[in-house]
Amino acid sequence: MDILTWTYLLVGLSFVVYIGIAIWTRAGSTQEFYVAGGGVSPLANGMATAADWMSAASFISMAGLISFSGYDGSVYLMGWTGGYVLLALLLAPYLRKFGKFTVPDFVGDRYYSNKARVVAVICALFISFTYVAGQMRGVGIVFSRYLEIPIESGVIIGMCIVFFYAVLGGMKGITYTQVAQFCVLIFAYMVPAIFISMQLTGNAIPQIGLGGSVADGTPLLEKLDGVLSELGFAEYTSGRKGMTDMFMITLALMVGTAGLPHVIVRFFTVPKVKDARLSAGYALFFIAILYTTAPAVAAFGIYNAINSTSEKNISELPVWIQNWQKTNLISVDDKNGDGKVQYLADPDTNELSIDKDIMVLAGPEIAKLPNWVVGLVAAGAMAAALSTAAGLLLVISTSVSRDLVKTFNPTISEKKELLIARIAAAGAVIFAGYFGVNPPGFVAEVVAFAFGLAAASFFPVIILGIFSTQTNKQGAIAGMISGLVFTIGYIVYFKFLHPELNTPENWWFGVSPEGIGSLGMVLNFAVCFGISKFTPAPPQQVQDLIQNIRIPKGAGAAQNH
């Protein structure tokens, strides 16, 4: 069968499974809609968390970034992996013990203020909408290539699918759908990685193959360094980013992870605090499978892409170039008219333009793997994008229905609250679809902005809310607003208002828009501390509550004997 047939078959089968699970596990109450009834097993929750966490940015875009940026692209690998460890160890158990469904719910109760809750809702909406735009873009790219339709049409199809199972099933449907999606995406990521590793290095383990040698006995990375240097690019294992910017982007991605509302809410779906810790461990293991493979996929992809295109006659370009040209994500321009492709670092003479977001998807075609593998990767990319999109849509709907509407109308019936949540999710799908069609950047870049917003707004108030008894509502509100406004302003200024100034010479302290969330976080902490110091301390019952969530049950029992 050809690629298109395999893609229809495998993507279609996966959609049938997802929709079937959504119907089978549809939510019948607000508790099932928000936290799946709180009865998910740690293993299932670990798989669902991994699927929720490994978005289109992880599956599609991260390896593509590393392919083209080499060492510089490692910030995403380090930041996202380290961030999950930070979340699992430092925050998840305490938030689970606090017992609130959402981050705004935690902020509202911990800081004893509906104003703080509303500010947290606004932050959650900004973060979630920015993040989900990247997912819908990923969906559009997959559909565009494999179903041979415009990206815009692909985004609309993705909107319809995710709307169906997110709105119908709520967190209960999403959780069990994400278990299936994790199985699909990890299988789809590993199969081509293993095949290509064997092709290039003779080793079936991609992580080891990355350090192996190609057919002529030269180490793969050394060969790649030489090939890129000859073309005028930086060596693959070296970087061009400044150390300050590297650090700030990595930090923003790490602490932003700990403030992501759609990941935090996963720890409320298990029965006990112990289960939250266990599911975090499972999720970390499942995430590590993909994240330790991504550098190998990146190196294999760029090595094969260069070898199959550079100095080739345009009439002899491989089929994968022709296939991807239909999506407008690859362009060939014979600038010197010699009939050959010059793939060079100089943009004035470079005749081949490849979008960063296609490297993982095109990898099996570039390596001439069987058509079923290409279709499998398409199904995996869809699983990655849709799983995260569903989790984000639930955060948006919950923020509106529970944290806004119910806060100001506490007597609302459960049936009406559930209806409002579903209407909010429907509106969020439409909004996300618009930014999927008109994205502010490539997938991983858009997602990095979401992490920066989370770092600048949520991380300080969550950390201080758990570990500081003196941080009060005035400090929290002022901190969230200042961090969010500063970070959004910086991103908008350089990415939208003055993109021509988006260069290291013009950035504050050499920090790019992708890393500015770190400075936003520092500002948030400073404002929180400063305002809290000169305003009344939190009520005693709130201080006692903070002490309680940090002390395990029975911790003082031994002292009583």
DSSP letters of 471-512?
A: --HHHHHHHHHHHHHHHHHHHHIIIII-GGG-STTTSGGG--
Distance CA 239, CA 225 (A): 12
Instruction: Pinpoint the alpha helices (H) of 87-150.
Output: 92-98, 103-110, 114-146
Residue 465 · residue 476 · CB < 8 Å: yes
Distance CA 477, CA 538 (A): 13
Amino acid identity of 227? V
Closest CA relative to residue 257, chosen from 42, 49, 475:
49
Give the per-residue pLDDT at 389: 77
Q: What is the pLDDT of residues 236-266, one digit of tens each?
A: 777 778 888 999 999 998 888 777 777 777 7
Residue 52 · residue 387 · CB < 8 Å: yes
- CATH number at 3-225+232-294+358-455: 1.20.1730.10
Give the per-residue pLDDT at 527: 97
CB contact burial 159-188 (16+ within 10 A = b; e otherwise):
bebbbbbbbbbbbbbbbbbbbbbbbbbbeb
Amino acid identity of 139? V
Residue 479 · residue 107 · CB < 8 Å: no
Give the per-residue pLDDT at 555: 45
Distance CA 434, CA 44 (A): 32
Q: Which residue has the tokens 């010479």?
A: 505
Give the per-residue pLDDT at 376: 92
* Residue 140 pLDDT level (bands cut at 50, 70, 90): confident
Q: What residues have CB less than 8 Å from 261, skipping those under 6 apart?
A: 102, 103, 104, 124, 127, 128, 395, 399, 454, 458
Residue 46 · residue 281 · CB < 8 Å: yes
Q: What residues have CB less than 8 Å from 266, skipping those under 6 apart?
A: 45, 48, 49, 52, 279, 391
Distance CA 92, CA 257 (A): 12
Give the per-residue pLDDT at 539: 93
Give the per-residue pLDDT at 156: 83
User: How far is Cα of residue 498 from the mean position of the Cα atoms in its chain?
Assistant: 26
Query: CB atoms < 10 A from the CB of 230, how many?
Result: 11
Instruction: Pinpoint the alpha helices (H) of 202-272.
Output: 206-209, 220-230, 243-257, 261-264
Angle CA(333)–CA(503)–CA(132) in degrees, nearest 5? 80
The mean per-residue pLDDT over the stretch 132-159 comes to 77
Q: Which residue has the tokens 């298990």?
A: 270
More confident residue, 203 or 138: 203
The mean per-residue pLDDT over the stretch 150-179 comes to 75
Stated pTM of the model: 0.81
247, 308, 312 from 338: Cα distances, Å? 43, 18, 11
Residue 182 · residue 286 · CB < 8 Å: yes
Q: Which residue has the tokens 């999606």?
A: 181
Q: What is the pLDDT of residues 517-548, one digit of tens each?
A: 999 999 999 999 999 999 999 999 999 888 88
3-state secondary structure of 413: coil
